[in-house]
Amino acid sequence: MATVKVHPKYSAAITFQEITQTRTHPACFMPYTFAESQKLFIRAARSIAGGVNSGIRKLELPVPVYFTHGRGARLWDVDGNEYIDYQLGQGALLYGHAPAGLAAALGEQARRGTHWAAQSLLEIEVAERIQKLIPSAELVRFNNSATEVVGAALRLARAHTGRPLILKFEGHYHGWGDEGLVGFAPPADRWGPDDTPSQLHPSQGIIPEVPTKFVVARWNDPAHLRQRVKQYSGQIAAIIFEPVLCNTSCIAPCASLLETIRDLCDQESMLMIADETITGFRFGGAGAQGYLGFSSDLTILGKAVGGGTPFAALAGKARFMEKIIKGEIVHAGTLNGNPLCLAASKWSLDYVLEHMKEHPGRINKLGQSLMRSLEDCARRHHIPLHPQGPGLVFHTTMLKPGAPPGPINDYRDYVRRHDAPRWAHLRRYLLEEGVRAIERGLWFVSMAHTDQDLAETLPRMERAFALHAQTWQAPA
């Protein structure tokens, strides 16, 4: 069989032969192939830089998959493969794929107009629903991505306090802008001492001074956090954080961490900025702040707030929004408050409001059941897989040989114990059996997932784990 290169740069990693070969393991009754996705990826690389529109999508093995349609918890690709989807548009699809009511709301709005760059009743209706759901959301402003909202929140915090620095935690992701990426995923040999983590940035081409305007702290160490704030007392405008560290191993805050952040912000007149891009509405109507019981000054909302459309919101206490009200900081955007996104958001928030009784309990239960099944299956096949998280979102860490079991506590702990190549190997088999988790090991459950979806996941998981256990060879 001929070997066709994906792209000169990546040909060493992926061959056509590798993708189309039929597996012969008896446990595998229906191997997935990706020939059509492969063809499209080759074609895409001729017109789209790198063949994908977000760098992380290149991580998908054996090839970035091209999808045709989705419904509920299921997703289909151009090769006709059907997936039970736990990637869910990187968590944005809290309501599952293509819910009928959302499609109708979008269709109706599209017939009235797709864009006005002006006011509409819809934007008030969406703002009022956010106010109703999240107690700290006294006022809101809209954007089209959480990355933009992070920029707005940090600008607001610096303007409000007149201070230059922002404190953020190692391994927390706040979008792909210059500021949001400081201290995200630093390599172990450069992450600096435990008590003074370095302000590393994973991207070239940023404004060189940006990292110097950040103080980086380790997650889940209140004493260390107090020390970091003391060191820069009077210079820090805000502490920004993911309330549950979903972007690294799904790590919940330890006892007293959120109280410590709140106390420090009050004592030092800093703003507490909760980045609820993932947790907002997923962790219930009031997001992680309702689920965990805290009150932030500013909140970043993305993903679920737009039901899968490019929509995000800055929400906050009225006194901290003053600089926007007065026009003293610039907050703008041609597509802010776009009526299509607003129609989707209104439908999404109404859906949350209608399901307040069982949400998030129902998806937490489903997720916890899936976590237990993954753990049991891993044990049967002697695979050191460690699921961690509340359930409605969780992460599977693949422990390195000899790494101790037990909860992952922070970013450094995760890097020390996670066997990324081995997880990528298992994840690929899961994909080839029609179970789709996020490349980095994150799993989301939607409100559209059913017991039946979970039941059908189990035999697929069993086959994937068996194949992984049979074929995995640690690099020499």
The residue among 16 and 443 lying less far from ligand PLP, judged by its C-beta, is 443
The whole-angstrom separation of Cα 253 and Cα 260 is 11
The helix or strand, by DSSP H or E, that contains position 34, with its residue range, turns out to be none
The whole-angstrom separation of Cα 350 and Cα 285 is 10
HSE-CB at 367 with a 13 A cutoff on CA atoms is: 29
The residue among 19 and 181 lying less far from ligand PLP, judged by its C-beta, is 181
The residue among 242 and 453 lying less far from ligand PLP, judged by its C-beta, is 242
The whole-angstrom separation of Cα 356 and Cα 120 is 27
- The 3-state DSSP class for residue 352 equals helix
Q: DSSP code of 48?
A: S
Helices (H), 21-168: 35-44, 100-112, 121-133, 146-161
Strand bridging mode 82-85 / 435-436:
parallel
For residue 313, report the phi and psi dihedrals to the nearest 5 degrees: -140, 145
User: In this chain, which of 15, 38, 109, 145 binds ligand PLP, going by CB under 6 A?
Assistant: 145
Should residue 280 be labelled a site residue for ligand PLP when binding is judged by CB under 6 A? no
Should residue 90 be labelled a site residue for ligand PLP when binding is judged by CB under 6 A? yes
- The 3-state DSSP class for residue 158 equals helix
Q: How far is the CB of 96 from ligand PLP (least distance, A)?
A: 19
Should residue 146 be labelled a site residue for ligand PLP when binding is judged by CB under 6 A? yes
Q: Considering only CA atoms, give the Rg of the chain.
A: 22
Stretch of 141-149, 197-205, 361-369, 400-408 contacting ligand PLP, by CB under 6 A: 141-149
Should residue 440 be labelled a site residue for ligand PLP when binding is judged by CB under 6 A? no
Binders of ligand PLP in range 214-253 (CB under 6 A):
242, 247
The residue among 45 and 304 lying less far from ligand PLP, judged by its C-beta, is 304
For residue 425, give the nearest of 390, 384, 456 by alpha carbon. Answer: 384
For residue 226, report the phi and psi dihedrals to the nearest 5 degrees: -60, -40
User: In this chain, which of 97, 158, 160, 174 binds ligand PLP, going by CB under 6 A?
Assistant: 174
Binders of ligand PLP in range 92-121 (CB under 6 A):
none
Other CB atoms within a 10 A radius of the CB of residue 348 amount to 28
The residue among 149 and 383 lying less far from ligand PLP, judged by its C-beta, is 149
User: In this chain, which of 183, 197, 211, 302 binds ligand PLP, going by CB under 6 A?
Assistant: 302
Q: How far is the CB of 395 from ligand PLP (least distance, A)?
A: 13
Stretch of 116-124, 139-147, 230-238, 328-336 contacting ligand PLP, by CB under 6 A: 139-147
User: In this chain, which of 278, 304, 366, 448 binds ligand PLP, going by CB under 6 A?
Assistant: 278
Q: How far is the CB of 181 from ligand PLP (least distance, A)?
A: 10
Should residue 309 be labelled a site residue for ligand PLP when binding is judged by CB under 6 A? no
The residue among 239 and 278 lying less far from ligand PLP, judged by its C-beta, is 278
Q: How far is CA 358 from CA 75, 129, 184, 213, 361, in A?
A: 25, 19, 34, 43, 5
Helices (H), 45-113: 100-112
The whole-angstrom separation of Cα 351 and Cα 196 is 44
Binders of ligand PLP in range 311-370 (CB under 6 A):
312
Cβ 396 vs Cβ 385: under 8 Å: yes
User: In this chain, which of 275, 413, 432, 433 binds ligand PLP, going by CB under 6 A?
Assistant: 275
Structure tokens given for 14? 């992926």
Q: How far is the CB of 143 from ligand PLP (least distance, A)?
A: 9
Stretch of 123-131, 170-178, 331-339, 409-417 contacting ligand PLP, by CB under 6 A: 170-178
The whole-angstrom separation of Cα 286 and Cα 131 is 10
Binders of ligand PLP in range 176-195 (CB under 6 A):
none
Cβ 382 vs Cβ 436: under 8 Å: no
Q: How far is the CB of 162 from ligand PLP (least distance, A)?
A: 26
The whole-angstrom separation of Cα 331 and Cα 329 is 6
Stretch of 29-37, 144-152, 183-191, 261-269 contacting ligand PLP, by CB under 6 A: 144-152
User: In this chain, which of 15, 37, 147, 296 binds ligand PLP, going by CB under 6 A?
Assistant: 147
Cβ 276 vs Cβ 301: under 8 Å: yes
- Binding residues for ligand PLP, rule CB under 6 A, total 15
Should residue 277 be labelled a site residue for ligand PLP when binding is judged by CB under 6 A? yes
The residue among 90 and 373 lying less far from ligand PLP, judged by its C-beta, is 90
Which residues sit at the interface with ligand PLP, rule CB under 6 A? 90, 145-147, 150, 173-175, 242, 247, 275, 277-278, 302, 312
